[in-house]
Structures are given as C-alpha cells and as structure tokens.
C-alpha cells in the first residue's frame, strides 16, 4: 500500500541554523500538509499546499517557514533560523483531493531537536 515517507527521522540542529525536512507524499495525491506536535501537546496545522502554492497557513507559519515542491515528488518544509521552541515532531500528510470523503495520510514524522 502506498505511504507517505519522511526524512530524516530525527534531526538535531543548533539554534539559528536552517533545516529542511523532507517528505514524499503518495504519488497521485494533490493536497499536501505539514503539521507539528510539540511534546505532550496537540497536533497543530502549519500549512497546506495545492497546485504549487500555499493554500492556507496558520499563525505558527511565519516568515521563518517555507514550503516547496521542487520536483513533483518531494515536499519540503524549511525553517530558516531555528529557535528552541521549534523543537517538535513534524508530520507531513497528503490527500488525493478528488472527492470530499478522501482521507489524509500521514508520514511517520521527523523529530526536530533544536539545541
């Protein structure tokens, strides 16, 4: 069964450094999402992406964040200058989008640790 994959599984970085989290959504899916989960807290929506542009972003998704689908298969989340509070689990998700009942499929997540 097709699945969403994410790399790396764990990323450790120093505060102020740039990180890129990578996702490969399911191949025939059209809608892509990033969510994050700070340890012990709820899963929060960051951004949705459709037709090669951001369709919605949350208040969390400030100028330090960007997303890109550079080659038609990968979907990346970049954090330009990481802060301690960016430490979280980041989940990518994709949805086919052809019907209103379709399901969002999640990747296994990338644990980001900012030191």
Partner 1 sequence: AQTVTQSQPEMSVQEAETVTLSCTYDTSESDYYLFWYKQPPSRQMILVIRQEAYKQQNATENRFSVNFQKAAKSFSLKISDSQLGDAAMYFCAYRSNRKGSSNTGKLIFGQGTTLQVKP
List of residues contacting partner 1 (CB under 8 A): 31, 33, 35, 41-45, 48, 50, 55-56, 89, 91, 93, 95, 97, 100-101, 103-109
Residue closer to partner 1 by CB (options 14, 101) is 101
The three-state secondary structure class of 10 is strand
Question: Can you tell me which residue has the tokens 């998700």?
Answer: 93
Residue closer to partner 1 by CB (options 95, 112) is 95
- Min dist. Cβ of residue 54 to partner 1 (A): 9
- Min dist. Cβ of residue 6 to partner 1 (A): 9
Instruction: Report the Cα–Cα distance between both ends of the chain, in Å, rounded.
Output: 37
Contacts of 42 by beta carbon, 8 Å cutoff, 6+ apart: none
Give me the sign of the Cα torsion angle 12, 69, 49, 95.
negative
Residue closer to partner 1 by CB (options 35, 65) is 35
- Min dist. Cβ of residue 92 to partner 1 (A): 11
The three-state secondary structure class of 22 is strand
């Amino acid at each position: 069964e097709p699945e969403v994959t994410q790399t790396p599984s764990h990323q450790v970085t120093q505060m102020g450094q740039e990180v890129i989290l990578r996702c490969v959504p399911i191949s025939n899916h059209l809608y892509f999402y990033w969510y994050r989960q700070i340890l012990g807290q709820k899963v929060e929506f960051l951004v949705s992406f459709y037709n090669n542009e951001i369709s919605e972003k949350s208040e969390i998704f400030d100028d330090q964040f960007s997303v890109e689908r550079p080659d038609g298969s990968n979907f990346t989340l970049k954090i330009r200058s990481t802060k301690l509070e960016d430490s979280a689990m980041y989940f990518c998700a994709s949805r086919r989008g052809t019907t209103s009942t379709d399901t969002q499929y999640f990747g296994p997540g990338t644990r980001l640790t900012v030191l």
